[in-house]
Chain A
Amino acid sequence: MSFTFRHLLDAEALSRDEITFLLDQSGAFQGIQKQPLKKLATLRGKSAVLAFFETSTRTRISFGTAAARLGADTMNLQAESSSTQKGESLIDTVRTLEAMRPDVIVIRHAASGAPHFVAERLGIPVVNAGDGLHEHPTQGLLDALTIRDRLGRLDDLNVAIVGDIRHSRVARSNIHVLTKFGCRVTLCGPAMWLPPEMAGIAPNVRIEPCLDRALDGAQVVMVLRVQTERLQEPALPVDEYIRLYQMTPERLRRARPEALLMHPGPMIRGLEIDPAVADSPQSCVLEQVTNGVAVRMAVLYLLTSGAGSHAADIQAG
């Protein structure tokens, strides 16, 4: 089975079959990360704009690495030096970038829906690398790939996501990906970060403020990053968050013994996660990073290769 994608804007719009196809394609690119020579010429002559209107290190480097390994060139826009600082509108900025004739644009923006807005107006494929509080679809895909590799399947898993659910696009993309495979997702965190309406964004999602109960029987545990400026002290002091929600070895024992421990990074040891958990055999944090490059290679390949919409029947040479 094969699918054609025009953009990658959110995980919500992807079907289960499309996600499976994207993960299978990513699997082919995982092998390349292990080769001594990792650089392909597949997208030679093509270029990708990495338009990061919001600061990012990991995701930007991951997309940049993916493009480089496919042989594509990248044009970088970074928030700090962006002309948006000078008052230019988003659409003017991306139209300027498009005028340099790239083949794909990867966008991160603080406004939810910005990539959709751009996709409707530009003639090139758009990849959402994180938009506001909405989605981060490649993170959802790379997490799913990591789970599928480790557990051998994605179906019907019990998944707990812990931390700042409200502000997490990682949580939203994961919910949309995993529930399509019948996973039951439990969201856990302090009340101010746990909006009740999150339970309604997909089937089989529930809210559980008590961490021990949320972890009970979990096969996958995702710990989200905590940004201390969002803790709104004194409402919830850091010490209190650590006491109630830090993932410690004792807490993790509430989950299944084989449960995976995931974190999208950057990880703050001693805050949301105990170092012993971060370095445990259950942790897949670094696999997530490696798989991120493979998933992004697959996405860039699928969006930029091929000339038309209908497969030509050719005799292999």
Chain B
Amino acid sequence: MPTREKTQLLTAAQTGRTIQRLGHEIVEKSGEGHGVALIGIRRRGVPLAQRLARTIRAETGAAVPIGILDITLYRDDLSLVAAHPVVQSTDIPFAVDDRDLILVDDVLFTGRTIRAAMNGVFDLGRPRSIQLCVLVDRGHRELPIEASFVGRRVDTRSNEVVDVHLEEVDGEDRVMLLERVP
């Protein structure tokens, strides 16, 4: 379905600052970031996690481990979406057992992606805790899931789409609110 841009939610500079602030909040809340590991949810959660790790490292000197999670196989809508979504690899190079994990994604919407991500994580072991960090929370939850770290809360309508662009994937930092046009 075609979309048109409605508003710009974050400029490049605001996107960068918001991610930095999220990094600071993680340090503040998790005590210098010790024992914390970040898990970026494909696709844009991955560069987001990498940037958070850089901020945490700059502030505390601690190298935060980063894992990559592909949730395709855990989606609950595989029989609803058309052609099979392409599966990508999950790469979590550390043991999740007894760790404090922070899942990282660009947009929190229905909560179903996060439900899928948690199932994926639990197939790998038993973390001590899981928190969630998102750049944008756009509401419309369908599951009892909330984020511990939120860059920006936006009230949206169901016919709108939050479009996050990140330098590493899209060549620019920018967050837009799009509207589906019938």
Residues of A within 8 A of B (CB): 2, 4, 25, 27-32, 35-38, 40-42, 45, 70, 298, 301-302, 305-317
Contact = CB atoms under 8 A, between A and B. Distances in A.
Contact of B84 (A32, A41, A302): A302
A4 B109 contact: no
Closest 8 CB pairs of A and B: A317-B110, A317-B112, A306-B84, A28-B87, A308-B82, A37-B123, A305-B84, A317-B113
Nearest to B156: A315
A308 B82 CA distance: 4
B83 A301 contact: no
- Main secondary structure, interface of A, reads loop
B181 interface: no
Contacts of B162: 315
A28 B109 CA distance: 26
A279 B161 CA distance: 56
Given A4-B84, A31-B90, A315-B162, 18 more contacts: A27-B89, A28-B72, A31-B91, A35-B123, A35-B124, A40-B74, A40-B123, A305-B85, A306-B79, A306-B81, A306-B82, A306-B84, A307-B82, A310-B83, A311-B83, A311-B85, A317-B113, A317-B142
A308 B123 CA distance: 29
Contacts of A45: 79
B78 A316 contact: no
B90 A2 contact: no
A87 B85 CA distance: 42
B109 A42 contact: no
Contact of A36 (B86, B114, B124): B124
Contacts of B77: 314
A25 B74 contact: no
Contacts, number: 89
B106 to A, nearest CB: 8
Contacts of B124: 35-37
Nearest to B41: A316
B109 A317 contact: yes
Contacts of B1: 313
Contacts of B119: 41
A228 to B, nearest CB: 42
B111 A317 contact: yes
B35 interface: no
A310 B91 contact: no
Contacts of A37: 122-124
Nearest to B161: A315
A298 B161 contact: no
B169 to A, nearest CB: 13
Contacts of B109: 315-317
Interface in B103-146: 105, 107, 109-114, 119, 122-125, 142
B154 interface: no
B70 interface: yes
Contact of A29 (B84, B87, B142): B87
A302 B125 CA distance: 27
Contact of B107 (A35, A36, A314, A316): A316
Contact of A298 (B87, B90, B111, B112): B87
Interface in B55-88: 70, 72-74, 77-88
Contacts of B73: 28, 32, 40, 42, 70, 301
Contacts of A312: 81-82
25 contacts: A25-B87, A28-B90, A31-B89, A31-B90, A35-B123, A36-B123, A36-B125, A40-B74, A45-B79, A70-B73, A298-B87, A301-B73, A301-B87, A305-B85, A306-B78, A307-B81, A307-B82, A308-B83, A309-B83, A311-B85, A312-B82, A315-B107, A315-B162, A316-B105, A317-B110
A42 to B, nearest CB: 4
B83 A28 contact: no
A4 B142 contact: no
A4 B80 CA distance: 16
A27 B77 CA distance: 22
B147 to A, nearest CB: 13
Contacts of A32: 73
Interface string B147-160: 00000000000000
B76 to A, nearest CB: 9
B49 to A, nearest CB: 16
Given A36-B125, A40-B73, A317-B113, A25 B86 contact: yes
Contacts of A29: 87
Contacts of B80: 307
